[in-house]
């Protein structure tokens, strides 16, 4: 069952031809943007004959987007752009992304294609539990789900009890949430004496927008009795609808008819082989208002080798293991927050919310992992708590090679908002 069978099952040769043609078109379009005018002046768009020709083109970075803010990347007259979104980046100058009417139609279609692939069908009731502002997860998923033909509830974020009431009143079958919030909402169900498996009609959860481990996904699936589908996207590439899991849940098909994928070594910028983790670099292939060429996402993943049994030919990305700028260095060792999460989630006494704190209070760098316990840990004695903290510290050391301090805290005591979770707080002097 496909949304656009011809495109989703396109042969490698046909895909390469389509990508080459679209890449040439994209370069021609991009030349109209002030930012690319000089950079692409020596590039002959008509000489682009294969997707590999992208390797002759310059990269675009987040700093480039900031530097050209607000209009330097706009490649059409302002009157043709009908929407802008801005990245949620919490530091520095914001970045803006523009869309024409046609761009928005393409985007909605990609999201509809992704949702259909995940098992969503017309007739489903779809609750969109993410922010509706500049963040792309709100409107992006909303219009895609409408395009597919689902009944969409634009719930937005916040007010967990109301979210649960909506789910139950309208027989919601599909919900879109950030994974950390999905876990928090599961706790609210429990507080209310409700069991999502018994008391809702949920069957699919779309989770994305922030890094999470397979263990976190398993917890969501168990708590709700749903298939939790990984959705990857970023504002710079529209938002949701870049890569999505199919029903096989074995990696995320990246829509290669609309995005040209490279996985590169972040230092040498040489291509990585399938199976090797590198930085995802993407080029838009259909966006008119704001073409982006070789955009360095900073997200780390690998291309999974082999064909997918679902029949779609688009390459599959592994789970995003982190962002190259999420990595922190402690005592000379590189650590990714997801390594910590994977260890914590393996312990049944550990709850779903955690925070890694780095400081230099005692003179030397120190790492503290604060983790909420589960409700049933409330009955544990202080000796048992201590033993558990010790066990966690050793398990973390085996994974990250540094022994952190572990603090077990009561359920619900760490900050948790509806937006992307804060996982690392670095208070070391710079």
Judged by the rule CB under 6 A, the positions of this chain that interact with ligand AMP are 87-88, 136, 208-211, 230-235, 297, 299, 320, 323
Q: Considering the complex, what minimum distance in angstroms separates the CB of residue 325 from ligand AMP?
A: 9
Does the footprint of Zn ion cover residue 84 (CB under 5 A)?
no
CA distance 236 to 390: 43
Tell me how crowded residue 356 is: count the other CB atoms within 10 A of its CB: 22
End-to-end CA distance of the chain: 53
| Min dist. Cβ of residue 319 to ligand AMP (A) | 7
Under the binding rule (CB under 5 A), the answer on residue 310 touching Zn ion is yes
Q: Is 376 helix (H, G, I), strand (E, B) or coil?
A: helix
| Cβ(129)–Cβ(157) below 8 Å | yes
From the list Zn ion, ligand AMP, none, which binds 209 (C-beta under 5 to 8 Å, kind-based)?
A: ligand AMP
Residue 246, interface with Zn ion (CB under 5 A)? yes
- If the CB atoms of residues 10 and 254 are measured against ligand AMP, the closer one turns out to be 254
310 makes contact, choosing from ligand AMP, Zn ion, none, with CB < 5 to 8 Å by partner type, with Zn ion
Query: Minimum distance between the CB of residue 156 and ligand AMP, rounded to whole angstroms?
Result: 16
Find the Cα–Cα–Cα–Cα dihedral 149, 154, 155, 157, rounded to 10°.
120
Q: Would you count residue 18 as binding Zn ion (CB under 5 A)?
A: no
φ/ψ of residue 358, rounded to 5: -115, 130
Partner in contact with 136, chosen from Zn ion, ligand AMP, none, beta carbon below 5 to 8 Å by kind: ligand AMP
Q: Which is nearer to ligand AMP, 130 or 330 (CB)?
A: 130
Q: Minimum distance from CB of 373 to ligand AMP (Å)?
A: 26
Which residues in 268-361 belong to E strands, given as ranges?
Answer: 278-284, 295-301, 303-304, 316-317, 322-323, 328-330, 333-335, 350-359
Q: By C-beta, is 48 or 174 nearer to ligand AMP?
A: 174
**CA–CA dist 259, 292 (Å, integer):** 10
Q: Is 175 in the site for Zn ion (CB under 5 A)?
A: no
Q: What are phi and psi of 216, to 5 degrees?
A: -65, -40
| Positive or negative: CA dihedral 71, 77, 78, 84 | negative
Give 249's DSSP letter.
-
The site partner of 323 among Zn ion, ligand AMP, none (C-beta below 5 to 8 Å per kind) is ligand AMP
Binding partner selected for residue 246 from ligand AMP, Zn ion, none, CB under the kind-specific 5 to 8 Å limit: Zn ion
Pick the closest to residue 302 from 268, 245, 267, 251 (CA basis).
251
CB of 379 to Zn ion, least distance (A): 44
For the bound state, the minimum distance from the C-beta of residue 97 to ligand AMP, rounded and expressed in Å, comes to: 9
Q: Does 308 bind Zn ion (CB under 5 A)?
A: yes
What does 211 bind: ligand AMP, Zn ion, none (CB cut-off 5 to 8 Å by kind)? ligand AMP
19 binds, among Zn ion, ligand AMP, none (CB under 5 to 8 A by kind): none
Q: What is the largest CA-CA distance in the chain?
A: 72
By the criterion CB under 5 A, which residues form the site for Zn ion? 246, 248, 308, 310, 312
């Amino acid at each position: 069952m496909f949304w656009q069978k011809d495109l989703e099952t396109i042969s490698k040769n046909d895909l390469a031809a389509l990508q080459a043609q679209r890449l040439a078109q994209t370069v021609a379009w991009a030349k109209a943007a002030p930012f690319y005018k000089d950079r692409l002046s020596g590039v002959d768009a008509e000489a682009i004959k294969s997707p590999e020709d992208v390797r002759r083109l310059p990269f675009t970075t987040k700093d480039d987007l900031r530097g050209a803010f607000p209009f330097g990347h706009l490649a059409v007259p302002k009157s043709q752009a009908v929407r802008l979104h801005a990245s949620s980046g919490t530091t520095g100058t914001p970045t803006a992304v523009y869309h024409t009417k046609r761009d928005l139609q393409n985007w909605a279609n990609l999201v509809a294609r992704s949702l259909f692939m995940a098992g969503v069908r017309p007739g489903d009731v779809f609750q969109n539990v993410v922010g509706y502002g500049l963040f792309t997860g709100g409107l992006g998923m909303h219009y895609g789900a409408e395009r597919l033909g689902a009944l969409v509830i634009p719930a937005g974020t916040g007010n967990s009890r109301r979210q649960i009431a909506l789910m139950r009143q309208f027989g919601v079958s599909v919900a879109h949430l950030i994974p950390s919030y999905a876990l928090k909402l599961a706790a609210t169900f429990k507080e209310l004496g409700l069991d999502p498996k018994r008391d809702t009609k949920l069957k699919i959860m779309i989770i994305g927008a922030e890094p999470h481990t397979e263990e976190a996904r398993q917890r969501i699936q168990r708590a709700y009795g749903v298939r939790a589908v990984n959705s990857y996207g970023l504002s710079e590439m529209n938002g949701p609808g870049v890569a999505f899991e199919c029903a096989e849940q074995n990696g995320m098909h990246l829509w290669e008819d609309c995005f040209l994928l490279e996985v590169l070594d972040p230092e040498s910028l040489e291509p990585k082989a399938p199976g090797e983790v590198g930085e995802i670099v993407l080029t838009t292939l259909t966006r008119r208002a704001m073409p982006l060429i070789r955009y360095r996402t900073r997200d780390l993943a690998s291309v999974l080798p082999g064909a997918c049994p679902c029949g779609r030919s688009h390459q599959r990305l592994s789970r995003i293991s982190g962002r190259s700028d999420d990595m922190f260095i402690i005592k000379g060792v590189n650590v990714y927050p997801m390594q910590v999460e994977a260890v914590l989630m393996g312990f049944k006494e550990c709850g779903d919310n955690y925070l890694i704190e780095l400081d230099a209070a005692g003179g030397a760098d120190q790492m503290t992992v604060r983790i909420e316990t589960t409700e049933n840990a409330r009955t544990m004695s202080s000796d048992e708590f201590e033993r558990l903290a010790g066990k966690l510290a050793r398990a973390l050391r085996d994974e990250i090679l540094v022994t952190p301090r572990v603090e077990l805290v009561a359920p619900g005591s760490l900050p948790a908002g509806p937006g992307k979770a804060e996982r690392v707080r670095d208070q070391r002097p710079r």
